[in-house]
A and B are shown apart, each in its own frame.
Chain A
Amino acid sequence: MSFLRANTADEAVQLLAEGARPIAGGTDLVVGARQGKAPLPQNLVAIDRIAELGVIEATESHIRIGSGVTHAQLMVDPLIVDRLTGVADAAALVGSPATRNVGTVGGNIMNGSPAMDTGAPLMALGAVAELRSIEGTREVALTDLWCGPGRTTARPDELCTALLIPSPRDQIGSAYVRLEYRRAMEIAVVGAAACMALDAGVIVSIRLALTAVAPTIQEVTGLDVLIGERADDKSFAAIAELARDQAQPISDVRASDHYRRHTVGVMAQRAGHAAASRANGDLITVPVNRALGIGAAS
């Protein structure tokens, strides 16, 4: 076994090309290995101290989140809290302070769990993953990145360097809500993220993505019927119904498929409501779960 540390993204992709596998915070990789789910890769390259991967910046057309940004950074970053609020909601719910200090958004996305929290809001906001190898850089929409539980369409020699999110326009709001049994150290039972743009209370655009009800994070389709409708209880109920219809949940230790299908509708309705309120300029503090008392009590 070998362990090397990369100081730049170029160094990291060179080592990936030679067969090493990346470790960022290790909160999925090391825990999984110790649980016996998958052995640690033979050759590891640590990417957690590559400064260029830890940056959040706004360009003219995009907000760019470096893959090495931690959940602790995401949940308080003014640009994220202000413009991509649903992503901050999700980051604030990950694990415990210790998990959030070292766990990264790149690790969350590339680990590919259908229960990951940042995946649904990033998908609802139209995020694209930037993947780099020694051959060059390509961009893959999150809708094309995951192909099964723990599986991505990225090649093993590709490093995720950033997530690119088209700059949201002014009257847009996003929110992520999850059902949880314990406030810390536990993953979502189900979750839903909504992103909505309004014009004088009328829905101009809407996207919705669901957590832990399919083999991957799942985007809900058919929401176009709501465009031109008011963002009111009737629309939120329609959102819930579309989410329930399209969910493909399984039964496991956390919940039955029946319960998941029902509750994902409730989460979708609440995420839709919170996203609309934020699009209207109402302040709902991050995370929505705590602000509205959803999920486990403290």
Chain B
Amino acid sequence: MNHTNVTLRVNEVDYPISISTERNLSGVLRETIGLTGTKEGCDDCECGACMVLLDGQPINSCSYLAVQAEGCAITTVEGLADGDELHALQRNILEAGGVQCGFCTPGMLMSARALLDRTPDPTDEEIRIGLSGNLCRCTGYARIIDAVRTTAVELSN
């Protein structure tokens, strides 16, 4: 198998790695770089557990070639907190009871982060569309949507 040398920039750190072309980004993040916050649920572009940001925009990293992400700023859930201080979205999703098993949470947080960066004061409809690529088998979504709404208000104050 041919390997290509690439440098992936994840959460503002450069990772020079050698990978084969067909590797998916989620696999490389988890297995090669060791950032396991990003989850793989379906590995088929259905569930959104693998959501990461590429230059601020959400993508399904399970179905994105890692080599294609070279030159972009990749943000994973590990890049949300500021040291020990949780990002407001992380704090609010915990406080709202929007985390049960937690498997969908990293993906939800990344979609929510991209939404709020783009639309600081979203309507409920905009929140639903923003999270429409993320499945949650546990919570029923209402508390996750509450957490996004609370964060929007908090960040705008």
Residues of chain A touching chain B, judged by Cβ–Cβ distance below 8 Å, are 1-3, 23, 26-27, 30-31, 33-35, 40, 44, 46, 48-49, 72, 95-99, 101-102, 183-185, 298
Contact = CB atoms under 8 A, between A and B. Distances in A.
Contacts of A35: 44
A185 B59 contact: no
Interface stretch (B8-16, B94-102, B122-130): B122-130
Contacts of A96: 48, 132-134
Contacts, number: 83
A97 B111 contact: yes
Nearest to B56: A101
Contacts of B130: 97
A133 B13 CA distance: 39
Contact of B64 (A2, A26, A97): A26
Contact of A98 (B20, B21, B71, B133): B133
B114 interface: yes
B22 interface: yes
A1 B23 CA distance: 12
A23 B21 CA distance: 12
A185 B68 contact: no
18 contacts: A2-B21, A23-B65, A26-B63, A30-B65, A34-B63, A44-B21, A48-B68, A96-B134, A97-B115, A98-B51, A98-B59, A99-B45, A99-B60, A101-B58, A102-B64, A184-B133, A185-B45, A185-B132
B32 interface: no
Given A3-B21, A34-B24, 18 more contacts: A1-B2, A1-B21, A30-B64, A30-B65, A31-B63, A34-B63, A40-B21, A44-B21, A96-B134, A97-B111, A98-B48, A98-B58, A99-B45, A99-B133, A101-B54, A102-B64, A185-B133, A298-B125
